[in-house]
Amino acid sequence: MTHGESRAAGAQRPGAGAELVASVDVRAARRALEGAAVRTPLLACALAPPARGGSVALKAECLQRTGSFKLRGALAKLSALGDRAAAGLVTASAGNHARAVAYAARLRGVSCEVFMPGEVPASKLAAVQQLGARVELGGGSVDEALELAAARAAATGATLVHPFDDLDVIAGQGTVALELIEDAPQLRRVVLPLGGGGLAGGVGAALRQVGAEVEIVGVQARSCAPYARLWEGDAAADAPNAAAGATIADGIAVKRPGAITGPLVRELLHEVVTVGEEEIADAMVFLVEHAKLVAEGAGAVAVAALRSGRLPEAEGLTVAVVSGGNVDSGLLAGLLLRHETAEGRRVRLFTRVPDRPGALAELLELVARAGANLVSVEHVREALPLHVRETGVELTLQTRGPAHTGELLASLAEAGYEVSEPRMS
């Protein structure tokens, strides 16, 4: 669907969404956040800006307490509940919403039980438990965990805090837009992650209520994109691969639009785009290297969409919402190493050295003089046609890039070493 067609199908259409917009009380939600949530910064970004004089900035919700925008909705919901929260809270989440509700519950002194998908990252599970919430693992997706949470709430009388399909939660997420309007009067477009639709619905409702003419673009992971399917006219719009492991953007792996957020998103968004796993991974690395921000997969999809070149030109300021930073450290480390390899800054070389004292030291001295950094070294003797007085050596090195690697290979060849072709490390 083209940009113009998206606008006609989305923000211009009257219906249930238009009626819901007025029900999103963003100003009341903002009062509920006072003293408990932080006003996250708007950061200039080195990302190549859109054409026609536009610029790009990042709304760093990854720096929010609990590490994501979800705290806004959780605090707004508890404030709206008032004394009813004393019966306890039950929720379901792949991580960020769970962490936010657990934090808000501890802050207000009420009990909290969280249902999480069975394949949730260990770091997100531990973070929720450390906040004092009781955690139950069950289901292969957020939707299945949510069914378990709803059953528990019905059985115990606790309040179910839905991760997105709740007007109070949506209003809390919409406070992001109020900060954007105040901090960036030149704002013309917001690009944000689109999972269940709470952030998109809240931001869109807030912008509509203050009369701001700002375009909103929602971004989904291509492997789990129910709103993209809805945009294309699929009435069912279920995402067939909505399990937590289907995408590294697990925070937006939601099976279907909500009863509330679905109409809101259709009413308020101008466009929905999708990004692939490679694009998400590259955006995560970009944010670390160029913006000094740690973002989880879901938090990086807006930047991935801007880097993809699929969005149309825009004048004025485009803001990408970096919605969360609660990424598993092992995943991030692996992506950074993978990126170094792809950029030619990490290589693996194999050569042979005489099997005598000092031979390895001579090789490593030559590597050091060439300015390469040694990551690891391994003697390789098995399954190779080596002379009886030879040993194989495999080196993993960091270089400044392909040209530097070429200089190193030339130095080794000049010194008499036969080196195999560099391999990806």
Residues sharing a CB contact under 8 Å with residue 344, sequence separation 6 or more, in sequence order: 399, 401, 402, 405
Q: Are residues 37 and 174 in the same domain?
A: yes
Same domain, 313 and 173: yes
Which of the two residues, 194 and 310, has the higher pLDDT score?
194
Domain boundary among 161, 196, 228: 161
Angstrom CA distances, 400 to 281, 348, 397, stand at 22, 14, 10
| Section 349-366 average pLDDT | 89
Which of 61-65, 66-70, 240-244, 320-324 shows the lowest per-residue confidence on average (mean pLDDT)? 240-244
Q: What is the DSSP string of 268-288?
A: H-SEEEEE-HHHHHHHHHHII
209 and 306 share one domain: yes
The band of 28, judged by pLDDT with boundaries at 50, 70 and 90, is: very high
Q: Lowest-pLDDT range, 147-161, 233-247, 383-397, 404-418?
A: 233-247
Residue 155: give the domain boundaries.
Answer: 70-161
Question: Between residues 32 and 424, which one has the greater pLDDT?
Answer: 32
Residues 195 and 316 grouped into a single domain: yes
**CATH no. for residue 265?**
3.40.50.1100
pLDDT digits (tens, 9 = 90+) for 149-167: 999 999 999 999 999 999 9
Look at 313 and 106; give whichever has higher pLDDT. 106
From the CB of residue 95, how many other CB atoms can be counted at a distance below 10 Å? 31
Q: Which structure tokens are listed for 41?
A: 């910064």
Q: Is the pLDDT of residue 402 over 80?
A: yes
The pLDDT score that the predictor gives to residue 356 is 86
- Which region among 89-93, 163-167, 366-370 has the lowest average model confidence (pLDDT)? 366-370
Same structural domain for residues 300 and 384? Answer: no
63 shares its domain with 81: no
User: What is this structure's pTM?
Assistant: 0.81
CA distance 261 to 167: 9
pLDDT value of residue 240: 57
Q: Does 206 lie in the same domain as 326?
A: yes
Q: Which residue has the higher pLDDT, 87 or 19?
A: 87
Query: Tokens at residue 40, please?
Result: 């996250």
Of 190-204, 308-322, 336-350, 363-377, minimum mean pLDDT range: 336-350
In 3D, which of 326, 70, 322 has the Cα closest to residue 175? Answer: 70
353 lies in the same domain as 325: no
Q: How high is the mean pLDDT of the chain?
A: 87
Residues 51-55: contacts with CB under 8 Å, at least 24 apart: 51/313, 51/314, 52/313, 52/314, 52/315, 53/315, 54/188, 54/313, 54/314, 54/315, 54/316, 54/317, 54/318, 55/316, 55/317, 55/318
Instruction: Tokens 């785009």: give the residue.
Output: 273
pLDDT tops 90 at residue 342: no
> What pLDDT score was predicted for residue 41?
97
CA distance 17 to 401: 52
Q: Is the domain of 64 the same as that of 98? A: no
Note whether 58 and 205 are same-domain residues.
yes
Same domain, 203 and 309: yes
Q: CA separation (Å) from 272 to 6, 23, 65? A: 8, 24, 28
Taking phi first (over 0 means left), then psi (-120 to 50 degrees means alpha), and beta for anything else, what does residue 82 get? Answer: left
pLDDT of 47 higher than 80: no
- The CATH number given to whatever domain includes residue 384 is 3.30.70.260
pLDDT tens-digit readout, 110-147:
999 999 988 787 888 899 999 999 999 988 778 888 99
Lowest mean pLDDT among 10-19, 79-88, 99-108, 203-212: 10-19
Residue 83: predicted pLDDT: 95
Tens digits of per-residue pLDDT, 248-281?
898 898 888 899 999 999 999 999 999 999 999 9
Q: How big is the CA angle at 284 (ends 119 and 99), to the nearest 5 degrees?
A: 45
Number of domains, the chain: 3
Domain end residue (candidates: 109, 142, 161): 161
Angle subtended at Cα 259 by Cα 256 and Cα 265, rounded to the nearest 5 degrees = 75
- Paired with 275 in beta bridges are 221
pLDDT of residue 48: 59
SS3 153: helix
| pLDDT surpasses 70 at 56 | yes
* Cβ atoms within 10 Å of 408's Cβ, excluding its own: 24
Question: Where among 337, 353, 373 does a domain terminate?
Answer: 337
Query: Is there a single domain that holds both residue 306 and residue 372?
Result: no
Please give the average per-residue pLDDT across 190-204, as a whole number.
96
Determine the average pLDDT of the residues in 377-384: 75
Report which of residues 391 and 83 the model is more confident about: 83
